Structure formats: C-alpha cells, structure tokens
C-alpha cells in the first residue's frame, strides 16, 4: 500500500469513527442513523445572507413589519437582550458555542455583554461598548440599583461600572449558579426575570432570587422550563421546553388558575415553516420529515415573550410568542378569551401561497435562528437571532446531523448575529415614565415592572407614602394599584387599612391582590390572618363577582392560604415526643401551623435562608428561655443579635410580630420548633402565651437583644 493510500485510509477511519460515534446517537439506530434523506429536499450548501438580504426573506403576520435593529460586527452570537433605565440595549453573546462540529474551545472565557446605543434615535443601534468581554458562556443579566447581575456557566456575578463609561470596573461572584452548564450547557439555570411578586424567576431552576439591601436572597421555587422566562400583567409565569411551545402557571396567586391542573400547556406542538427543515437531530427517523420537507412538530423551542399591556393593542393581549430556531420560525398563541375566563389558546397560522400555512413569523433563511425574545420598553417584540447553521450542542449532536452539517457547510460562518423588532402598523411612540411612582401607572407592563423593581430593590422607603396613595386611589388604573400593593409588600410597608380597602374593591384583580397580600400586612408571608376571614367570606358571597375571585375568597376564608412551602422535608418525630401524648398532640398541630406561617422563610427543615431568616435548628433563641421566645413571637425582634454566641450577619435586622395569631396557634408552633430538628425543650402552653400577653399588655414595639 502506498503512502498516500495509507494516509487516506487512516483519515477515513478516524473520520468514520467521529461520524458514527456521536454523543447524540441512540443505541439500536445504527441502520437509520446513516440516512441521507435530507438530500431529497436540501442537498446544497447553505448560503450566508447579509442582514438586509435575510430581512427580505421574512414573512410576518398581517399588520406587522420586521425591522433590523442591530447586526454584526456590532453584535456576534447574541442569545439575550435587555434594556437599562436609560433605554440602552444590553446584549449577551455566547461566542464560544459550537465554534466547530467538535465544540472546540467551549471553555474559553470569550463571551461578552455588550451595551448598544441608538445615538441618532433612528431605531437602529449605532454605538457598541463592551461591558465585560471575558465571561464563560454568559446566560442572562439583571439590573440592580448599584450594578448588573450577570450569570455565566457556574456563577452569578455582581458587576459594577464605577466611572460611568459603561465598562465593568469591579465584579464579585455572589453564588454558584448554572453549575450544570459545565457539563451540559443546554440544561442549566438561566433567566433572571423579575415578576409581579418581587422575585426573579429562572428556568431550569428550583430556586428564585431577590435583591434586597445590596444582597441576594434565595428561596426554593417550582422548577420550570429550559430556556427563557416571561410573565404577564397578572403575574403568571410563562416558560417552555424544547418540544413544547409554552407552559404557564399562576403559582403567584396560589394556583387559582387554571381550573384543572397546576399549569396550562400549548394546545399543539405542530409547526409550520416556509422551507424544508432537514437539519434537525432526529430527522433520520421515519415520519419525522413530511412529504414537503418540513417537520411535523417542534423539537428546538428556545426562549419566549408575552405581550401584556404593550404596543400591539387589545387584540393581542396575552399573546405568547415562542421561538423555534430549528424551523426558522416564531410561533404565536392567543388566548381564546381574556384571562382568567379561559385557559385555552389558539395557534395563530396564516395562509401561504406555497406552503398553505405558516407561523406568525417565518423565514426561508436556514441560518435565521431566533433563540430568544423580549418585550421592549416601547412595547414591541424584539427577536434575538443567533444566525448560525449549527445550534445543536456537541453533547447531543447525532452522526446524521453532523454529516449533513459538514456537507452543507452549516458549521461555517460563525460570529454573526442580528436583533430584530416586530412593529405593528401605525405604531405610535409612548413616552417613557417620568418618575418611579409614576412608572407604576405606565400603560406598558415593561415600565410598571421596572419601576416596581427599582423601588423595591432600591429600598426606597421615602416613596412608601406616595405608593400607598396610589394603592388606595379608587380612580387609578386597577393594574397600577396592584403594582403599588406589591411594591408596598416589597418595602415591608403594607398596612392593614390598605389591604382592607383593596379587598373591598369592585375590580376583581385589586380585591384578589388584597386577599393574596393580607398576611404581608401583618408581617407574615404565608399565613392568612383570622381577622380578614369575615371580609373574605363577604367577598365570596358578593354578587356579580369574578368566579376566580369568589373561589379564592371562599377558600381563604375557610382554610387560609394553601401551603406555599416547596422544599421537600420529612419530619421525624423524636422518641421523647412520641412518649408524651400532650407533647405529641401539640407538636403535630404546630408542625402544620409552622408549614403555613413560618416555613417559607425559616424553611421546613428549620435551617432558614441566607440573607433572609436565621436557623431555628439548635438555636439558643429557640431552646433557651421560653419567655424570651414567646416575646419574640408575639412582639417581634429588631436590631443585631447573636445566635449561639455568634453575631448573625446578612439577615434583615427584624423579626415581625405574630401577636395577631391566637394563643393556641402560637403555643403549638413554639412547642413544635422547640422539639423539632434536634431541639429538645418541652411544651409552651396556651396559658404561657396568655400570661405573657397580660404581663406585657402595654408593649407595642419589637424587643431588642439588649432588653432580654
């Protein structure tokens, strides 16, 4: 064998090994995985179009037009977009993703966050400043009062621009975050979406986070979605998975929607592009590709956005826009009836002369990859176009897709990217908010949420009285009042009279928000105070009231709030508890009460939460002097304290008073915490509580450690 033939043979062996040994290959599919079915519809090399050429290949729903906002070289490999309070566009660039078919250099710190500006106000970005340039596969950002939170693979960073040049001068890693991305970039935490309840929600995550007084707070949350997160003006959360256009739930309002089940999913997974979609991972399977070359169902769903109180008007209220980069489309789903009247959605399809039907937006450019979307300050939908041939990660790349990508040169021409805006016909500019409290009344949800976020995260106590006036203003827009109520809750400034007035309001959402936040007015999160139950019962019996409100009012008047504790914990009753019938009875009652009124902050396992609530497990405040513990429960505690002799750090210096609870409730809870999680300190009786109340009947302020 001559040398050239030997080299060729070795090259063929290695290329064949690479070709037929991909991570995404499934066992038992060796015969069909070598399929060349794609040659029937898409045999040629995939062209690269300029931004203007690609723009010309869009077909969008009647009544809308697509505008090019930014493109390479200003942005490269964009995966998300957000805006600061000055209207500047911030773009995250995933610059090391699948630079070739082997995923070379994925671990290099080359990802960036860019700040784009439209200096001449013509709608097109013309200035770019790199805020950070050495991130590891940046995933999302969030603005906080003194900086920007940036998530990369493995961590969440607090980044600050100290001199106003839009470049990061100081950064600190706050917590581990998206750690799974080191091994599986497609299945790790992402999104820092601020929602109505003052929490930032994340997909592919079982926690939510908040920024309070310069620190992060974490709490357990329902795991949702895979890429992206959105919410609407009612606080519903929207998310999706790779084979599901969208899913939505209303856990914020105690799962009072939908009527059945805990969430609503898209009515279909069908998709209607306007070109063959052969370059998808499993298309070698029989029946995956239709006779016209398109695929029957989505398998590459990415981010999404929801139009709620935006520029598209009432006809598009509640519309969900979901990204399908593998089919070069954006799907749209409209609610059958306005929320909360229905939980049905209609897939919006449009006639097409060639393909019969198509999605809300579709392109004939195979490199158009809408991977994410956001509603902007102008109320319009912005699309993030990764503009790549290969978007399947190496971990899941099949031999079938690898071969097609190589032959059609889908792996070539990286480092591109575009941002588009979808504008309705006759679009009129709405002025930005002129102040934070005024922003709570802005017609667009983007401004209301951003104003609420800035007030709460900035701890603007100086604005609380003005916000309260808005919450109590019967002539104000109902949604503005709801934002004001949640803002007061975030500031810890909700008053009982404000909540009573809200509950009695005729508008169902204001009334429901009053019920939802009744506990907050007493300084607790998850306990519905008994004094509000007659008012809730009155609302439930009121005529001409929304069925959703009536159902919720009836439920809380009888049973209080449903459990909101999500952390799985199986309590183990200690032997000494089981041997004492009186103690066991109080313990079990207290455990149930604790789960409703205390567990969200101190957690089911009693270990508390960083930056929010101290541990109760093996704490001298719990196992020590019973009268001190009763005093803290009834009147609260403020100022710095020591736990087991060590100064407590990072926790807000106040424990709210729970004196509004009945003696029996408090005695059961305190008995439980004194004998759970390894604690052993006996019973606190109802008589103990009553005697304390009589002894301290003139006290109205919380205790301090020094007083004890």
What pLDDT, on the 0 to 100 scale, is given for residue 568?
Answer: 60
Name the DSSP letter for residue 392.
S
What pLDDT, on the 0 to 100 scale, is given for residue 2?
Answer: 46
Query: Which residues fall within 8 angstroms of residue 308, CB to CB, at 6 or more apart?
Result: 231, 232, 233, 234, 317, 318, 375, 445
Between 705 and 11, name the one with better pLDDT.
Answer: 705
What pLDDT, on the 0 to 100 scale, is given for residue 180?
Answer: 87
Name the DSSP letter for residue 315.
G
Six-digit token pair at 606? 């009693």
Q: What is the pLDDT of residues 597-637, one digit of tens each?
A: 787 778 888 888 776 788 999 999 999 999 999 999 999 89
What pLDDT, on the 0 to 100 scale, is given for residue 144?
Answer: 97
What pLDDT, on the 0 to 100 scale, is given for residue 618?
Answer: 92
What pLDDT, on the 0 to 100 scale, is given for residue 7?
Answer: 34
What pLDDT, on the 0 to 100 scale, is given for residue 374?
Answer: 97
Burial level of 438, CB count in 10 A (0-12/13-18/19+)?
middle
Q: What is the pLDDT of residues 45-75, one digit of tens each?
A: 999 999 999 999 999 999 999 999 999 999 9
Find tokens 């952390």 and name the residue. Answer: 567
Confidence of residue 15 (pLDDT cuts 50, 70, 90): very low
Six-digit token pair at 579? 């041997």
Confidence of residue 38 (pLDDT cuts 50, 70, 90): very high
Q: What percent of the chain has pLDDT over 90?
A: 74
What pLDDT, on the 0 to 100 scale, is given for residue 26?
Answer: 80
Of 346, 348, 194, the C-alpha closest to 264 is: 346
pLDDT at 19 over 70: no
Stretch (H or E) spanning 638:
strand 637-638
Of 681, 698, 573, the C-alpha closest to 628 is: 681
Rounded to whole angstroms, the Cα distance separating 401 from 403 reads 6
What pLDDT, on the 0 to 100 scale, is given for residue 660?
Answer: 85
For 114-152, what is the HEC assignment?
EEEECCCCCCCCCEEEEEEEEECCCCEEEEECCEEEEEE
Query: Which residues fall within 8 angstroms of residue 566, CB to CB, at 6 or more apart?
Result: 206, 220, 221, 222
pLDDT at 215 over 80: yes
Q: Which of 96-110, 175-189, 417-431 has the lowest mean pLDDT?
A: 175-189
Rounded to whole angstroms, the Cα distance separating 36 from 125 reads 42
Between 74 and 570, name the one with better pLDDT.
Answer: 74
Q: Which of 18-27, 81-90, 291-300, 392-401 has the lowest mean pLDDT?
A: 18-27
Confidence of residue 4 (pLDDT cuts 50, 70, 90): very low
Query: CB of 207 within 8 A of CB of 220?
Result: yes
For each of the domains in the chain, give its residue range(s) and CATH number, in order of start.
Answer: 58-424 (2.120.10.30), 457-559 (no CATH), 575-695 (1.10.760.10)
What pLDDT, on the 0 to 100 scale, is given for residue 20?
Answer: 41
What pLDDT, on the 0 to 100 scale, is given for residue 10?
Answer: 35
What pLDDT, on the 0 to 100 scale, is given for residue 446?
Answer: 98
Six-digit token pair at 297? 């169902």
Query: CB of 455 within 8 A of CB of 490?
Result: yes
What pLDDT, on the 0 to 100 scale, is given for residue 404?
Answer: 95
Spatial strand order in the sheet of 154-160 = 140-144, 147-152, 154-160, 170-177
SS3 320: strand
Q: What is the pLDDT of residues 347-401, one digit of tens each?
A: 999 999 999 999 999 999 999 999 999 999 999 999 999 999 999 999 889 999 9
Give how far Cα 644 sits from Cα of 236, 245, 545, 653, Å.
42, 51, 52, 17
Q: How many CB atoms lie within 10 A of CB 241?
A: 18
pLDDT at 8 over 60: no
Rounded to whole angstroms, the Cα distance separating 241 from 322 reads 10
Q: What is the mean pLDDT of residues 503-511?
A: 97
Of 690, 703, 639, the C-alpha closest to 661 is: 690
- Supply the mean pLDDT for the chain: 91
Rounded to whole angstroms, the Cα distance separating 539 from 181 reads 48
Confidence of residue 656 (pLDDT cuts 50, 70, 90): confident
- First CA to last CA distance, the chain: 93
pLDDT at 11 over 50: no
């Amino acid at each position: 064998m001559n040398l050239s033939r030997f080299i060729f043979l070795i090259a063929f062996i290695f290329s064949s090994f690479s070709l037929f040994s991909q991570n995404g290959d499934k066992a038992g599919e060796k015969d069909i995985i070598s399929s060349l079915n794609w040659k029937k519809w898409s045999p040629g090399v995939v062209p690269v179009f300029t931004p203007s050429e690609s723009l010309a290949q869009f077909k969008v729903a009647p009544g809308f037009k697509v505008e090019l906002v930014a493109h390479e070289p200003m942005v490269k490999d964009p995966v998300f977009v957000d805006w600061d309070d000055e209207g500047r566009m911030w773009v995250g660039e995933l610059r090391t993703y699948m630079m070739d078919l082997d995923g070379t250099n994925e671990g290099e710190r080359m990802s960036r966050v860019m700040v784009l500006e439209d200096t001449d106000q013509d709608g097109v970005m013309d200035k770019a400043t790199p805020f950070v340039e050495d991130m590891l596969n940046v995933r999302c950002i969030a603005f906080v009062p003194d900086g920007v939170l940036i998530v990369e693979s493995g961590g969440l960073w607090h980044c600050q621009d100290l001199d106003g040049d839009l470049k990061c001068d100081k950064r600190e890693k706050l917590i581990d975050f998206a750690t799974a991305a080191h091994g599986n970039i497609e299945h790790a935490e992402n999104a820092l979406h601020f929602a109505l309840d003052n929490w930032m929600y994340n997909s592919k995550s079982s926690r939510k986070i908040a920024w309070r007084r310069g620190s992060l707070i974490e709490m357990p949350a329902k795991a949702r979605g895979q890429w992206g997160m959105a919410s609407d003006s009612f606080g519903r959360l929207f998310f999706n998975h790779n084979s599901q256009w969208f899913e939505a739930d209303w856990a914020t309002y105690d799962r009072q929607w939908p009527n059945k089940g805990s969430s609503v999913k898209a009515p279909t997974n069908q998709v209607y592009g306007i070109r063959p979609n052969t370059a998808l991972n499993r298309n070698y399977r029989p029946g995956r590709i239709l006779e016209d070359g398109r695929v029957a169902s989505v398998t590459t769903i990415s981010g999404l956005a929801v139009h709620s109180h935006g520029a598209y008007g009432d006809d598009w209220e509640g519309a969900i826009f979901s990204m399908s980069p593998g089919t070069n489309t954006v799907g749209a789903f409209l609610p059958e009836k306005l929320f909360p009247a229905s939980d049905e959605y209609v897939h919006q399809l449009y006639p097409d002369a060639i393909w019969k039907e198509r999605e809300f937006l579709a392109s004939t450019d195979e490199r158009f990859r809408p991977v994410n979307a956001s509603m902007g300050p102008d109320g319009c939908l912005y699309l993030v176009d990764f503009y790549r041939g290969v978007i399947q990660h190496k971990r899941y790349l099949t031999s079938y897709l690898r071969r097609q990508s190589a032959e059609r040169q889908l792996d070539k021409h990286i480092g591109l990217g575009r941002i588009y805006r979808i504008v309705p016909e006759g679009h009129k500019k709405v002025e930005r908010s002129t102040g934070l409290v005024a922003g709570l009344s802005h017609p667009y949800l983007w401004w209301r949420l951003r104003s609420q976020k800035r007030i709460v995260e900035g701890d603007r106590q100086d604005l609380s009285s003005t916000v309260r006036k808005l919450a109590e203003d019967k002539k104000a827009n109902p949604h503005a009042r709801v934002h004001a109520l949640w803002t007061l809750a975030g500031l810890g400034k909700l008053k009982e009279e404000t909540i009573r007035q809200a509950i009695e309001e005729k508008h169902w959402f204001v009334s429901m928000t009053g019920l939802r936040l009744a506990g907050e007015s007493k300084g607790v999160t998850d306990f519905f105070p008994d004094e509000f139950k007659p008012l809730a019962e009155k609302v439930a019996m009121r005529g001409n009231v929304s069925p959703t409100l009536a159902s919720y009012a009836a439920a809380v008047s009888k049973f209080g709030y449903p459990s909101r504790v999500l952390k799985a914990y199986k309590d183990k009753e200690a032997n000494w508890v089981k041997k004492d019938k009186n103690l066991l009875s109080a313990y079990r009652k207290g455990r149930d009460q604790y789960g409703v009124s205390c567990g969200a902050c101190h957690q089911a396992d009693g270990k508390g939460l960083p930056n929010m609530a101290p541990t109760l497990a093996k704490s001298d405040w719990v196992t020590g002097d019973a009268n001190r513990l009763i005093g803290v429960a009834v009147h609260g505690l403020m100022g710095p304290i020591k736990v087991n002799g060590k100064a407590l750090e990072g926790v807000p210096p106040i424990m709210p008073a729970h004196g509004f609870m009945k003696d029996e409730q408090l005695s059961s809870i305190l008995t439980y915490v004194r004998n759970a999680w390894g604690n052993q300190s006996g019973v606190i009786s109802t008589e103990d509580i009553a005697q304390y109340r009589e002894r301290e009947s003139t006290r109205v302020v919380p205790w301090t450690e020094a007083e004890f």
